Amino acid sequence: MTTLSPTSTTPRLTGPAGRPLKNHVSVSQTIRHSFTMAYRGLLKIRRTPEQLIDVTIQPIIFTLMFTYLFGGAIAGSVADYLPLIIPGILVQTVITGSVVTGTQLREDMDKGVFDRFKSLPIARIAPLAGALLADTVRYAIATTLTLTMGFILGWRPGGGFGFVVLAGLLVIVCAWALSWIFAFFGVVARSASSVQGISFLVLFPLTFLSNAFVPTGTLPSWLKWFAEGNPVSHLVSGVRDLANTGAITGNLWLALLGAGVVVAIFAPLTVRAYMRKA
């Protein structure tokens, strides 16, 4: 314990844990802080498991619902619809799950604890990075559950286990990329409910105006044009190709390219807006 007395010897000031004072945070510290913040995110999930409803119950219900609702009408039978719908539901569920990143970030930033984070000598970016990191766990849960549901309903993907895992990873990567959009809304919006509002406005056209649930063949030409250009469609096709036939196609690369573009645009925007507030 350092004793500070104004009259005696000048105290030697050190940072926490006796480290010398430094005015910058190193890369390794930044990574450590981000992982600690991600750990915090996971602890919060464990404390409030109801947060996971959108990535646990929803994939089960949606898979059941859409499969039996559309199966006969769209593909002639449930069994024929499964290879189409499971990748579609998978993409839709996981991407929907990424909206939560934004709302939770907003809620977090409004709370008192955020003031403490700001007063700590940690990397400014850590709370944001931690949130984005922790949410990949949510995507993994949603992915596993949807794929398992598909398997239970009788889906036997031709690509085999390895390619199904690869397809799952592809979805998680793309959802993570999209979560930057919602994180951006989370940083700039005034309230958590407005984040949710804006996010769903972006999300619904993206996920439903795609080939996730129906083949695009019957769509009016303008809609077809949108649905086929939609990066979500490429993602869905990429997942179908991987899981059902074990093929790595152009769709996969287009989906990854789309994800890359989103990150390239929204990561700097989000970080800049975030740092201004942090």
Partner 1 sequence: MTTSSDWAVEAHGLVKVFGENRAVDGVDLSVRAGTVYGVLGPNGAGKSTTISMLATLLRPDAGSATIFGHDVVKEAQVVRQLIGVTAQFASVDEKLSATENLIIFSRLLGLSRRDARTKTTELLEEFGLTEAASRPLAKFSGGMRRRLDLAASLIAQPPLIFLDEPTTGLDPRTRSQMWDTIRRLVTEGSTVLLTTQYLEEADQLADRIAVIDTGRVVAEGTSEELKSSVGESSLQLRLASPTDVAPARDLIRSVLGVSAAVSPEAGRITAPMTDPDRITDLFVAFRERGIHLTEMSVQKPTLDEVFLTLTGHGVDADAAPADGAAAAHTSPKESVNA
Q: Does 30 bind partner 1 (CB under 8 A)?
A: no
Rounded Cα–Cα distance for residues 150 and 56 (Å): 14
The only residue of 49, 112, 217, 220 in contact with partner 1, by rule CB under 8 A: 112
Q: Does 48 bind partner 1 (CB under 8 A)?
A: yes
The only residue of 75, 84, 99, 126 in contact with partner 1, by rule CB under 8 A: 126
Q: Does 26 bind partner 1 (CB under 8 A)?
A: no
The DSSP code for 218 is G
Applying CB under 8 A, the span of 79-87, 118-126, 179-187, 234-242 interacting with partner 1 comes to: 118-126
The only residue of 28, 116, 190, 217 in contact with partner 1, by rule CB under 8 A: 116
Nearer to partner 1, 50 or 161 (CB): 50
Applying CB under 8 A, the span of 38-46, 80-88, 220-228, 247-255 interacting with partner 1 comes to: 38-46
Nearer to partner 1, 19 or 222 (CB): 19
Q: Does 29 bind partner 1 (CB under 8 A)?
A: yes
Rounded Cα–Cα distance for residues 186 and 219 (Å): 34
Rounded Cα–Cα distance for residues 220 and 210 (Å): 13
The only residue of 31, 44, 253, 257 in contact with partner 1, by rule CB under 8 A: 44
78-97 vs 126-153: helix axis angle to the nearest 10? 170
Rounded Cα–Cα distance for residues 149 and 45 (Å): 23
**Residues within window 78-107 making contact with partner 1, judged by CB under 8 A:** none
3-state helix, strand, coil in the chain (%, to 5): 80, 0, 20
Q: Does 28 bind partner 1 (CB under 8 A)?
A: no
Which of 155, 23, 184, 179 lies closest to 79 in space, CA to CA? 155
Our CA angle for 106, 110, 114, nearest 5°, is 100
Q: Does 5 bind partner 1 (CB under 8 A)?
A: yes
Applying CB under 8 A, the span of 21-29, 83-91, 191-199, 212-220 interacting with partner 1 comes to: 21-29
The only residue of 16, 49, 217, 220 in contact with partner 1, by rule CB under 8 A: 16
Please state the closest distance from residue 4 (CB atom) to partner 1, in A. Answer: 4
**Residues 56-94: b if buried by 16+ CB within 10 A, e if exposed:** bebbeebbeebbeebbeebbeebeebbbbbbbbbbbbbb
The DSSP code for 217 is G
118 within 8 A of 37, measured Cβ to Cβ: no
Q: Does 10 bind partner 1 (CB under 8 A)?
A: yes
Q: Does 190 bind partner 1 (CB under 8 A)?
A: no
Site residues (CB under 8 A) for partner 1? 1-6, 10-11, 13, 15-17, 19, 21-25, 29, 33, 36-37, 39-40, 43-44, 47-48, 111-122, 126
